[in-house]
Amino acid sequence: MLRPASMLATSSQCAVLAAPTAVLSRALQIAPALKSYAPRGPPDRPPKPTWEDPETASREALLQFIDPYEKDPDRGEPGRRWRAAELRLKSNEDLQKLWIVLLRERNMLHSTRMLHKKRKTKMPHLGRVQATRKSMAMIKVVLGERQRAKQERDERLAAEHLRECTLSQIDLARSEVWPPFIPGAARELPLAAAHSFTILLRTTDGSTPEKDPPADALAIEMRYKGELLPSNLVEVRMHRQPPAKSRPDQVRYNCHVYVGGQAIPAADFLRPGSEEELGDPLSLEVSATLYGEPLGEGAVPVRVLPSKRRKRLAALAAINRAMSAKLRERKEAAAKGLEELP
């Protein structure tokens, strides 16, 4: 077939086309040599085991689902179930093998029970079904115990590692507690009310900490006259504040504290020599700890005010005293007026 002039290749074009052809032929010549160095992919799987006699293999597989008491009615009594104390002495590999044996036994027993149900006969030693199920349940119990123990151990090791990392990167001396107060004014905390504290942690090298300590690693301690306040009357909740971009070396936690009205005896708020009049605020010391290690230079002093209920009772007592005094004066004036009458 004739081709148009545009499709006919010139001598120069033929030279250009010959170069890739030569390269391709050279590549085909060295391909067998490179084939030995090429990756062969995943290793070949071992051949599946085959039975020399398939009929014999099928017969042996079916015999595993036949109850031994069907073949030998005079067989002895079956054994008891496995106990958890006995299974705890075995390794996980032995438990896995035992599980396979019990699984095969369970399938055989269910097949036998269905066969006797179809025949309307009584299955020999029906308690084997319950014993097999209990044995498999005990294997689950033992494996669950080991899994929980492993999880607890991993959590304990992770917590110890986090504690070591935290204490190594946090400067305890430069960390501090900020109670809610106005600079230059007295810090006063009324009882039976919620208060907010800020726990400020600083790193030793001034860089961002690799891991933030968990909130449960921090604790707030309040002392009155050198003794800790009862824990059942002090409720503490903490949460991590978002990090500040301008201060990467600081880790802040908000601490909400609720101190019950009965944390400090009511008699300590009364003025000396008085049974109902309130006196000056009491002194309280607030400190924080990280993993039991104290933060800052020491405790922060704060002033404690009586609760609103205590103030209301004191105000009512003052009103009662004033009314009693007025009634007493009126009674004395009335008695004096009667005496002056002729």
Q: Residues 182, 128: one domain?
A: no
**CATH number of the domain enclosing 208:** 2.60.40.10
Same domain, 181 and 80: no
CB of 254 closer than 8 Å to CB of 194: no
* Residue 175 phi, psi (nearest 5): -75, 155
- Tell me whether residue 241 is in a domain: yes
Residue 109: its H or E element:
helix 92-119
Q: Would you say 255 and 234 are in contact if contact means Cβ atoms under 8 Å apart?
A: no
**Residues 183 and 272 reside in one and the same domain:** yes
Predicted local distance difference test score (pLDDT) of residue 40:
58
pLDDT, tens digit (0-9, with 9 covering 90-100), for 14-47:
444 444 455 445 544 544 554 454 455 566 777 7
Same domain for 175 and 149: no
Structural domain containing residue 112: 54-153
Q: Which residues of 138-166 are buried (b: 16+ CB within 10 A; e: fewer)?
A: bbeebeeeeeeeeeeeeeeeeeeebbeeb
The pLDDT of residue 4 is 44
Instruction: Find all residues with CB under 8 Å of 176, minimum gap 6, and list them.
Output: 200, 295, 296, 297, 300
Q: Is 86 left (phi over 0), alpha (psi -120 to 50) or beta?
A: alpha
CA dist., res. 55 & res. 61, Å (int) = 10
| Residue 341 counted as domain residue | no
pLDDT of residue 187: 65
pTM: 0.58
Indicate if 176 and 315 belong to the same structural domain.
yes
Place of tokens 């006063």: 188
Dihedral sign for Cα 247, 252, 254, 259, please: negative
Domain boundary among 93, 121, 153: 153
One-letter amino acid at 73 equals: P
Q: Which two tokens stand for residue 191?
A: 């009882």
- pLDDT value, residue 303: 80
The reply to whether 215 and 310 lie within a common domain is: yes
pLDDT of 278: 78
DSSP reduced 3-state for 141: helix
- 287 burial (CB, 10 Å; 0-12 / 13-18 / 19+) is middle
- Same domain flag for 277 and 183: yes
pLDDT at residue 48 in the model: 65
Same domain, 195 and 312: yes
Q: So what's the pLDDT on residue 1?
A: 38
Chain segment 140-179, per-residue pLDDT in tens: 999 999 999 999 999 999 999 999 988 888 888 888 887 6
Indicate whether 178 and 300 sit together in one domain. Answer: yes
| φ and ψ at residue 222, rounded to 5 degrees | -120, 125
Listed as ranges, residues in the chain with pLDDT below 50 are 1-20, 23-24, 27-28, 30-31, 34-35, 37-38
Assess if residue 296 is contained within a domain: yes
**166: in domain:** no
Specify the number of domains making up the chain. 2
